[in-house]
Every structure is written in C-alpha cells, then in structure tokens.
C-alpha cells in the first residue's frame, strides 16, 4: 500500500504534531499524577475539556472522517499517520475527538442510523459533548466470533427488547458516556452470519446496568474503562431508518 501522505494530510499532521508538542505533552504527566491521586478516577479533569476546546478552535477535530461533511476530509492513509502520532499519548485521541469507540460508532450512526437517531445523538457525539460504548463481547461465549453470541435483540411490535450480559464494553466507565451500540441475535433461524442486529440504546434506559469495571493487568483505564453491562428486558422504540 502507498502510504505517501497528501499535501492536505501533511498540513494536518504537522499541526497535530505541533499541538501535541505545545499543549499535550507538557501537561500529560501532571494529568496522570492528578488523576491517580483521586479516590474517584472516573472523572473528566478540567484540563481535558480545555484542550478539547483549543483543538476544536484550531480545526483539529473529528480527523478520522474521510469527508468534509462531518470531519476534515482526509484520506484514510493520511489519518493513519495522524493516528500513529496521537497514539503516542493516552489523552490525545480524546482531545481531537478521535477516540474509540466513538469513531466507529459515529460512522455506523451516519451510515445506518435513522433520521431521528442522527438528530438525537450525532451532533452531541461530533461535538464531543457525549461519548459512547460498543457492547458486543459476552462473558460466557467466545463472542469475538459474533456467531456464538447469545444476547438477544427481539422485535416486539413497535419495540426492540434487549436481554443479555456484555463485558469488555469499552467506554462505559466514562462519565460522559450516554449511549451504546448493543449487538444481539434477532433471528435465530437465519444463516449464522445474518442473525444479528445493532441497536442504539441510551445508557440510562430502564433495565441497563453497569455491574462492574474490569481490570487489565491491575489497571482500570480510568476514566474510560471496560465494563460488564447487563441488559434486563430493555424495551426501546423501534426506529425505522
């Protein structure tokens, strides 16, 4: 693959490098010390919101979109080099509103969400006001292979009913996480790769509960985190795209 960067991509890459050198690197160590000193680390420190505002003012925002309707209109090959740079920092991806799983979730919403879903969630995600989670992996099956999934998203009239337990749901610990994409089995009789649906679900919907956060080598990745989320008869209005 040709990874040569375009002129536009080079401009953004240089601006990202400069922003990181001037704004992020000088404060990141102090950020980690301040967060580690807190009893409750599931918080957004003021410096994060301040840096996000600065990045957005400079147009260094939603860099991952390959069009200029929602992002900067960079080539994927351009963004790959920018992501390599921002990946050197724990906080940089969020500063530029390019942190997973929001990146993928926003693209799914743009391509497949209903008009109502887009109107409710997309502006808030694009602006960085809220964050999101992706709930696919399950504790009792090897659900990195989604064909083994047992959680269900069944249609009941004008509603979709969600049941199941998910874990390693990245982002659910973040205080700004307000919505998740839930993946579940809708049609058990369909071919194994055509049984599933993705459902947009507010984190505060009745029946949704974050049971606990999961550590990786003793670390909880605050304030993002990877959690166990239970969906107990969660009933959602079925929006038609």
Residue 76 has pLDDT above 60, yes or no: yes
Mean pLDDT score, 207-231: 96
Among residues 198, 183, 207, 204, which one has the least CA distance to residue 239? 198
Residue 117 lies in a domain: no
Residue 125 lies in a domain: no
Q: Are residues 148 and 74 in the same domain?
A: no
* Single residue among 55, 84, 99 that ends a domain in this structure: 99
Q: Are residues 92 and 138 in the same domain?
A: no
Range of the domain at 227: 131-237
Tokens representing 214 are 């999961």
Mean pLDDT score, 77-91: 96
Q: Are residues 92 and 143 in the same domain?
A: no
Residue 24 belongs to a domain with what CATH number? 1.10.540.10
Q: Are residues 95 and 136 in the same domain?
A: no
Q: Could you tell me how far CA 50 lies from the centroid of its own chain?
A: 20
- Specify the pLDDT at position 2: 74
Q: Are residues 88 and 135 in the same domain?
A: no
Residue 1 has pLDDT above 80, yes or no: no
Q: Are residues 63 and 137 in the same domain?
A: no
Calculate the average pLDDT of the chain. 95
- Specify the pLDDT at position 239: 63
Mean pLDDT score, 167-188: 96
Residue 115 lies in a domain: no
Total structural domains within the chain: 2
Q: Are residues 232 and 135 in the same domain?
A: yes
């Amino acid at each position: 693959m040709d990874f040569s960067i375009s002129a536009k991509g080079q401009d953004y890459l240089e601006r990202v490098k400069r922003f990181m050198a001037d704004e992020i690197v000088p404060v990141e160590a102090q950020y980690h010390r301040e967060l580690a000193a807190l009893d409750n680390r599931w918080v957004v420190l003021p410096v994060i919101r301040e840096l996000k505002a600065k990045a957005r003012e400079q147009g260094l925002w939603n860099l991952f979109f390959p069009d200029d309707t929602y992002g900067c209109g960079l080539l994927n090959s351009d963004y790959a080099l920018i992501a390599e740079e921002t990946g050197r920092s724990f906080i940089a991806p969020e500063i530029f509103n390019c942190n997973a799983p929001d990146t993928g979730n926003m693209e799914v919403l743009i391509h497949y969400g209903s008009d109502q879903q887009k109107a409710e969630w997309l502006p808030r995600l694009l602006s960085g006001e809220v964050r999101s989670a992706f709930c696919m992996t399950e504790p009792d099956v090897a659900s990195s292979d989604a064909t083994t999934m047992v959680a269900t998203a069944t249609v009941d009239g004008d509603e979709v009913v969600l049941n199941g337990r998910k874990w390693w749901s990245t982002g659910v610990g973040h205080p700004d996480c307000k919505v998740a994409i839930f993946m579940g089995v809708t049609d058990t009789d369909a071919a194994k790769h055509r049984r599933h649906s993705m459902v947009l679900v507010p984190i505060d919907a009745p029946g949704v509960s974050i049971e606990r956060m999961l550590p990786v080598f003793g670390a909880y990745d605050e304030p993002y985190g990877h959690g166990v989320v239970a969906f107990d008869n969660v009933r959602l209005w079925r929006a038609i795209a």
